[in-house]
C-alpha cells in the first residue's frame, strides 16, 4: 500500500489544537468570569469535562446560563437517579452484530470508529457506552468488511463514534480502503461534531481523502444553538461542500439550551446560512445523568408547529425520537 503523504505537517495543526482543549472546568470558568459556578461542579464524574478552545471561545463571558457552556459543564445534578433514565436507552447493545458495528436500520450500518470526541456533551446517549470492548481494530474491520460484503442490502456506511474525525487521515484511509472493493456501497456518511468544535480539522489532507473515495458523501454535523456557528465553521463547511459533500445538521432538543421558539428558528436559519441544512431534531435519549435536559413530547410538538409557521419547509427539521426496536427514528408529528 502506498502510504499517504498528505497527513504529516498539515495534520499537526488540528492535532495540536485538540491537545489544547480545556480539561479543567474551573480553569474555563475563571477564564469566562464564572468562578462562582465552581461549587456546582461534579469533579469526579466518570465522563470527564472536555471542550475545545474554539467552541469555548463562542461562550458569553459572565453568562451562567450560556447555552454552549450548559452543554459541557458537569454538574452535581447529573448524579440524580431519575426513573426511566438508564445506561442503554436506544437499544444499541441489541443491534451489535459485530463488535464496533451497529446494524439497526435497513440499508445502513454504523461503525463505532473510536471512543474519542473533541467535546463531552453532558446529554450524550453514548456517555455510558462500553467503548473499551468495542474498538475498531484491524481484525474487526476485516470482519465488518466481510459481513457488509455478504449483505447486498447495505448501501450506506456511517462512520460514527465517538467522533470519527478525531482519527488521523491515515487511519480513515485504512477504513475506507478496506471497504472500497464492496460493489454495493453507494454512500459514505460521517457523523461528526468536528466542523463545529474544531473547524481546522477540515484541512487539505481530509479533503484529499474525501476526494479519493468512489462513493457519494454525506456529513451530518451536530450543533444545538445558533451561537455554535462562526466564520471558521462556515469556512470548514464551505470546504466540504466545494468537495461535493452533502452537509446536514442534527440537533438535540435540550432544556435550557434551545427549547424556545426563537432559539430554534435562529438555529435552523443560522445552520443553513453557514452551509448545513437541518436534518433531525432529536428528543433526548433518556441516558442516566441527562434528566435536567429533557423537554417533554407535548412541548416539543408545540415548538415544531411554531417552526412550521415561521420557516420554509426545507428549514424545518424532522422531530424524532429513537425507540428501541423501531425500524426508523420515529417522527413525533
User: Contact residues for ligand PLP (CB under 6 A)?
Assistant: 102, 104-105, 108, 110, 158, 328-329
Burial class (CB in 10 A: 0-12, 13-18, 19+), 189: buried
CB of 158 to ligand PLP, least distance (A): 6
| Residue 117 interacts with, from ligand SF4, ligand PLP, none (CB under 5-8 Å by kind) | ligand SF4
Binding letters toward ligand SF4, positions 36-75, x by CB under 6 A: ----------------------------------------
Q: Is 193 in the site for ligand SF4 (CB under 6 A)?
A: yes
| Residue 173 interacts with, from ligand PLP, ligand SF4, none (CB under 5-8 Å by kind) | none
Whether residue 162 is preceded by a cis peptide bond, meaning omega within 30 degrees of 0, is yes
Q: Is 121 in the site for ligand SF4 (CB under 6 A)?
A: yes
Q: Is 189 in the site for ligand SF4 (CB under 6 A)?
A: no
Strands of the sheet containing 156-160, edge to edge, are 96-98, 101-105, 108-112, 156-160, 187-191, 216-222, 246-252, 277-282, 318-321, 330-331
* The binder of ligand SF4 chosen from 28, 56, 109, 124 (CB under 6 A): 124
CB atoms within 10 A of CB 171: 14
Whether 32 and 69 have beta carbons less than 8 Å apart is answered as yes
Q: Is 11 in the site for ligand SF4 (CB under 6 A)?
A: no
Is the CB of 165 or the CB of 307 nearer to ligand SF4? 165
CB of 121 to ligand SF4, least distance (A): 3
Residue 103 to residue 160: CA distance in whole angstroms = 13
CA-based radius of gyration for the chain: 19
Whether 113 and 141 have beta carbons less than 8 Å apart is answered as no
* The binder of ligand SF4 chosen from 58, 103, 104, 126 (CB under 6 A): 126
Site for ligand SF4, rule CB under 6 A? 117, 119-121, 124, 126, 162-163, 193, 222
Amino acid at each position: 500500500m502506498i502510504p499517504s503523504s498528505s497527513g504529516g505537517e498539515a495534520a499537526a495543526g488540528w492535532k495540536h489544537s485538540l491537545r489544547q482543549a480545556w480539561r479543567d472546568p474551573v480553569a474555563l470558568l475563571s477564564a469566562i468570569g464564572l468562578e462562582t459556578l465552581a461549587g456546582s461542579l461534579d469533579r469526579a464524574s466518570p465522563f470527564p469535562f472536555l471542550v475545545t478552545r474554539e467552541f469555548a471561545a463562542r461562550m458569553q463571558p459572565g453568562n451562567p446560563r450560556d447555552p454552549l457552556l450548559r452543554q459541557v459543564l458537569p454538574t452535581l445534578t447529573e448524579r440524580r437517579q431519575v426513573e426511566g433514565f438508564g445506561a442503554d436507552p436506544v437499544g444499541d447493545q441489541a443491534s451489535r452484530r459485530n463488535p464496533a458495528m451497529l446494524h439497526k436500520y435497513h440499508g445502513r450500518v454504523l461503525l463505532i470508529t473510536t471512543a474519542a470526541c473533541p467535546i463531552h456533551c453532558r446529554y450524550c446517549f453514548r456517555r455510558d457506552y462500553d467503548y473499551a470492548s468495542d474498538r475498531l481494530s484491524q481484525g474487526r474491520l476485516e470482519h465488518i468488511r466481510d459481513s457488509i460484503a455478504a449483505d447486498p442490502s447495505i448501501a450506506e456506511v456511517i462512520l460514527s463514534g465517538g467522533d470519527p474525525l478525531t482519527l488521523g487521515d491515515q487511519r480513515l484511509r485504512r477504513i475506507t480502503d478496506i471497504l472500497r472493493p464492496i460493489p454495493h456501497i453507494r454512500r459514505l456518511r460521517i457523523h461528526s461534531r468536528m466542523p463545529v468544535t474544531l473547524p481546522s480539522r477540515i484541512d487539505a489532507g481530509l479533503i484529499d481523502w474525501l476526494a479519493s473515495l468512489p462513493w457519494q458523501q454525506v456529513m451530518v454535523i451536530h450543533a444545538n444553538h445558533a451561537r455554535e456557528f462562526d466564520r471558521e465553521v462556515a469556512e470548514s463547511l464551505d470546504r466540504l461542500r466545494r468537495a461535493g459533500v452533502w452537509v446536514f445538521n442534527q440537533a438535540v432538543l435540550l432544556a435550557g439550551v434551545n427549547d424556545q421558539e426563537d432559539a430554534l428558528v435562529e438555529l435552523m436559519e443560522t445552520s443553513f446560512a453557514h452551509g448545513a441544512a437541518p436534518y433531525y431534531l432529536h428528543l433526548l435519549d433518556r441516558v442516566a445523568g441527562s434528566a435536567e435536559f429533557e423537554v417533554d413530547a407535548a412541548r416539543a410538538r408545540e415548538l415544531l408547529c411554531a417552526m412550521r409557521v415561521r420557516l420554509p419547509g426545507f428549514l424545518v427539521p424532522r422531530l424524532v425520537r429513537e425507540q428501541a426496536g423501531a425500524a426508523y427514528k420515529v417522527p413525533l408529528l
